[in-house]
Amino acid sequence: MNVCTNTIKDIARLAEVSHSTVSRALRNSPLVKAETAERIRRIVEEFGYRPSAIARSLATRRTKTIGVVVTTIADLFVAGVVTGIEDVASDHGYSVFLANSNADPDREVRVVASFEERRVDGVVVTASRVGALYLPMLSRMRVPIVLLNNQHPSEFAHSVMIENTAASREATRHLVELGHRRVAYLGDRYGQHCDTERFGGYRQALDVAGLPFLPQLVVHGDGRPASGRQAMARLLELAEPPTAVFCYDDMMALGALRQIHACGLRVPDDISVVGFDDLPIAEYTEPPLTTVRQPMRQMGHLAMQTLLLLLEGSESKHNIKVPGELIIRETTAPPNDRRQILKSA
């Protein structure tokens, strides 16, 4: 018996009731007599009937579907967030459409079009490198949108954001308190709002400590290891290299570690490194990485919970700030005054 050919009318015929009654029974309507409902459910079970969400969506004008846009899912932060989103979506009967934009404007246009055509009930945009027209295009859809670690968090819509500034300040202060005076910032040139805030926290910590801001100690990558390695190489070529580096994310910290080791320097003896994210691999770098934990999965939960609230008609603005947590492992230590000597070895 081909499941896909069964319709509500087939079940109605078998149960000797109208299809309206079957519909009610399936939706647990109190309007249907208990024993009738029971009989219907037995038949539904026996024939493996699955009501069509398509037809239901057309009738109810709700698809119980959300769209999730990411730049790429092949990123442990993004994947963690999406896991969190899907967790609660699934618990509430929502299915999720996943779309990668690849930071490509053409694909962004297609993603928006497909989400509109599929009549998703809501959208979450995660840590995307969005084109200029993208967010306005999305907002035109007239469905709730939640941004996660994205630009325009407050002006534009509802959002879930890590407390970038406070967390970065704390991470930098950790380095300063260890005695570092030359602390570099390895940023992400595509990091948009998050990069601005993390850089801001770094600056604040320097100010509070009365340390001068040295522009030559600020370098940028693209968020990935190779670029972190290159940026680190530039720092190490400086006449007076930093004794510590605060990185925009763990992946670039990974590249930085590689470059430091490739130069024959040691972490944390010669140079301290701090990351951001606390990816599952952070505990397994060599040495284990001091970093700022973002509760990625929980942030995904919050984003979906916010969307759910909006879908239930909440009118308020939702701008959630999630605290980061500094996880001190083994890439940070007091500066070694002999570093210059070792380097020449």
Q: What is the dihedral of CA 328, 331, 336, 340, to 10 degrees?
A: -150
Which is closer to DNA, CB of 48 or CB of 280?
48
Q: Is 139 in the site for a copy of itself (CB under 8 A)?
A: no
Tokens linked to 88 = 């609660």
State yes or no: residue 295 binds a copy of itself (CB under 8 A): no
Q: Which of 161, 247, 257, 303 binds a copy of itself (CB under 8 A)?
A: 257
Choose among DNA, a copy of itself, none what residue 201 binds, the Cβ cut-off being 5 to 8 Å by kind. none
Residue of 122, 144, 191, 225 interacting with a copy of itself (CB under 8 A)? 225
- Alpha carbons 245 and 185: distance in angstroms, whole number: 6
Residues 135-154 binding DNA (CB under 7 A) are: none
Interaction partner, residue 224 (a copy of itself, DNA, none; CB < 5-8 Å by kind): a copy of itself
Torsion of CA 275, 277, 278, 279, to 10 degrees: -110
114 interacts with DNA by CB under 7 A:
no
Asked if 90 touches a copy of itself (CB under 8 A), the answer is yes
Site for a copy of itself in 142-201 (CB under 8 A): 142-143
7 binds a copy of itself (CB under 8 A): no
42: contact with DNA by CB under 7 A: no
Q: Which does 30 bind (CB under 5 to 8 A by kind): a copy of itself, DNA, none?
A: DNA
* Number of chain positions touching DNA (CB under 7 A): 32
Tokens, residue 271: 């140079």
- Residue 12 C-beta: closest distance to DNA, Å: 7
CA separation, residue 110 to residues 7, 107, 133, 179, 300 (Å): 33, 5, 13, 51, 24
Q: How far is the CB of 309 from a copy of itself (least distance, A)?
A: 20
Token digits of residue 146: 């939640």
Closest of 246, 273, 252 to residue 333, by C-alpha = 273
CA distance 78 to 300: 9
The entry of a copy of itself, DNA, none that residue 141 binds, CB within 5 to 8 Å by partner kind? a copy of itself
Rounded Cα–Cα distance for residues 56 and 64 (Å): 10
Q: Are 91 and 34 in contact (CB under 8 A)?
A: no
Q: Which amino acid is at 46?
A: E
Among 28, 38, 42, 58, binds DNA (CB under 7 A): 58
In the shown chain, the binding pattern of residues 2 to 41 toward DNA, with x for contact by CB under 7 A and - for none, equals: ---xxxxx------xxxxxx-xx-xx--xxxxx-xx----
For residue 199 the two structure tokens come to 């850089």
Euclidean distance between CA atoms 147 and 131, whole angstroms:
14
Q: Is 317 in the site for DNA (CB under 7 A)?
A: no
Ranges within 216-245 binding DNA (CB under 7 A): none
Query: End-to-end distance of the chain based on CA atoms, in angstroms?
Result: 77
Q: Tell whether residue 116 is a contact of DNA (CB under 7 A).
A: no
Q: Which of 34, 303, 9 is nearest to 158 (CA)?
A: 303
Binding mask 93-132 for a copy of itself (x = CB under 8 A): --xxxxxx------x--xx-xx-xxxx-------------
Rounded CA separation 260/283 (Å): 18
Beta strands per DSSP E along the chain: 65-70, 95-100, 122-126, 145-148, 158-162, 183-188, 218-221, 244-247, 272-277, 290-293, 319-322, 325-327
Q: Which residues form the interface with DNA (CB under 7 A)? A: 5-9, 16-21, 23-24, 26-27, 30-34, 36-37, 49, 51-52, 54-56, 58-61
Q: Which residues form the interface with a copy of itself (CB under 8 A)? A: 2-4, 48, 50-55, 57-58, 63, 65, 68, 72-76, 79-80, 82-83, 86-87, 90, 95-100, 107, 110-111, 113-114, 116-119, 140-143, 224-225, 229, 251, 254-255, 257-258, 261, 280-281, 283-286, 288, 297
